[in-house]
Amino acid sequence: MNDPRIIVALDFPDQCTALNFAAGLDSTLCRVKVGKELFTLAGPQLVEKLMKLGFDVFLDLKFHDIPNTVAAACSAASSLGVWMVNVHALGGSKMLLAARQALGGKKTRLIAVTLLTSLNQNDLSELGIADTPETMVQRLALLAQCCGLDGVVCSALEAVSLREVTGEDFCLVTPGIRSSSDGNDDQVRIATPAMAIRSGASYLVIGRPITRSPDPLGALRRFNDEVASVL
């Protein structure tokens, strides 16, 4: 079965632009990610249209609420037919288990965000957390795995140690991907596709290097070739 490793982040401000852009990609080469902005504007209809174009959709809404509410939200996402949905591991084990149970044997994959990459040591101290971000990431990833989740979002740098502790079957979804010729944009810790796959990443989330390219399909093909060269 075709299992594209690249997930293109459709970070567009409106449905029309997102759909036109997706129509110019190739669903055998990538999956797509719909985040909070686009989903808030365009909703389930957009997800259905992307699926009609043949794309697997990662609904990146990072649910974080009481267990009952998150379970219902995951169930709703799954009934849309999305390929992947995510929650915050910081919601705790009861919330994670409720989300897992709500998805049961359904095909929608459930992954967790560990610690937002925007949080540094000072931010954690402010929240009363003495641990380092690295320790927190590892603890939250293991908590997600214990609760039966399919994987976590992490940076390529975190992937190396997470792969060691979580084993082969846990899914590591890695943003912050740039080719050596791209700029960093606002990403701080970046990796090339080859570095990310070698570090243990299962899927790579790529936004601007593809969405802002003058030749998005060409850029996607080049990223895919680099992934294929190290698989």
**Among residues 61, 82, 205, 220, the one that binds ligand C5P under rule CB under 6 A:** 205
The secondary structure of residue 14, as a DSSP letter, is S
**Among residues 117, 192, 202, 224, the one that binds ligand C5P under rule CB under 6 A:** 117
**Among residues 208, 216, 217, 222, the one that binds ligand C5P under rule CB under 6 A:** 208
The nearer residue to ligand C5P, 9 or 140, going by C-beta atoms, is 9
Q: Strand (E) positions, the chain?
A: 6-9, 31-34, 57-63, 84-88, 109-113, 151-153, 171-174, 203-206
Name the pairing type of β-strands 57-63 and 84-88.
parallel
Q: What is the CA radius of gyration of the chain?
A: 17
- Stretch near ligand C5P under the rule CB under 6 A, chosen from 15-23, 127-135, 202-210, 221-229: 202-210
Where in 77-116 is the site for ligand C5P (CB under 6 A)? none
Where in 28-57 is the site for ligand C5P (CB under 6 A)? 35
Q: Strand (E) positions, 51-118?
A: 57-63, 84-88, 109-113
In the complex, what is the shortest distance from the CB of residue 205 to ligand C5P, in angstroms, rounded to a whole number?
4
Q: Strand (E) positions, 137-218?
A: 151-153, 171-174, 203-206
User: Catalytic annotation on 62?
Assistant: yes
153 binds ligand C5P (CB under 6 A): yes
Q: Which two tokens stand for residue 51?
A: 């699926």
Judged by the rule CB under 6 A, the positions of this chain that interact with ligand C5P are 9, 11, 35, 117, 153, 175-176, 185, 187, 205-208
Catalytic residue IDs: 62
